[in-house]
Structure 1
Amino acid sequence: MTKKEIRKKYLEMRKTLSDDEVLSFSEKIFRNFVDNFEIEPLQKIHIFISIAKFKEVQTELFILHFLKNGIQIYLPKIVNDEIIAVAFDENTEMEVNSWGIAETVPDEDAGVTDFDYIITPLLYCDPHGNRVGFGKGYYDGFFAKISGKCKKVGVGFYSPNEVVEDLNPHDIPLDYLVTPVEVLSFNGLL
């Protein structure tokens, strides 16, 4: 299937999820993540803030866990059509932008490229780690600037079925996918 076809299909599927289902699936995804990855104090994790109206995986569970366990948290912010990584802690000032999305008030790039994990939003991920998002290419651009040792972890509600047929040369696959029912590795490691 093409990205456009996949995007349409999985957006429609996500629209049918109730708030309770989103929360339940998110809790299972969070549990699968912490049970399958070694998370330690002082690690650097880049994670997105969920957008409730898009029924994204609720990352507040992750963020609270990371705050309690001494993890260095970085949030994405779009500046000049690129993702930058802004350091985040419980004192970071947040605001809702013109798109209705919570983001950090500071817009200073932390300059970090050696994240331990980047927890990545997606609509769909195919059996080879190719993610389909909203089609802006922000994460592919971000992935191109980070250390090759960083683990790129997609979090989503659906297991891979269809293969993305129209990949672009700039598309960068994920290393892992965490769903409510499984953790998949696309690089042979877990």
Structure 2
Amino acid sequence: MSNEFDYLFKLLLIGDSSVGKSCFLLRFADDSYVDSYISTIGVDFKIRTVEVEGKTVKLQIWDTAGQERFRTITSSYYRGAHGIIIVYDITDMESFNNVKQWLDEIDRYANDSVRKLLVGNKCDLAENRAVDTSVAQAYAEEVGIPFLETSAKESINVEEAFLAMSAAIKKSLQCGFLQNGNAKNHWRRKLLDLSFL
């Protein structure tokens, strides 16, 4: 039986409630959009396979609840994540101000080498913008993580965000631990023990 993928990456979406994490994931995984999405209870996930630099990458993407009362449930999902996308809503300054708290959670629960990406969602609502792009860009540079603005509704930069994250993880694996030609099998053996990243 042939292998269906070369890499399996676990990604996590975090951020305040109502910033559009579920719609962001739905757009990427199913290329669909639902205007009235119900708040995520606990954790949901979707899978999509993409091509990155000639390799087949299977993405297991976890969508976490933003509400405080679910934090203890979702904190366990940080372990073993290869990439974490922090999402805020460009029309909601509080959601941007809370990005620092989400980064603190990553530092507390995730592997040190986890890749991060800051995403300002709902960029289609420019007339309601509360967070200036330059402010978010400057903050991302200050904390040393890439930044993109997206719109799940209009399908702007959604694909690019996930592909950029996948490429960054793949590159970090190649530059780090997985340098041999047998990366695929080694990777699969290590799926349950990701502390080596």
Give the TM bin, normalised by the shorter chain.
0.3 to 0.5
Structure with the bigger percentage of helix: 2
Larger Rg: 2
TM-score by length of 2: 0.39
TM-score by length of 1: 0.40
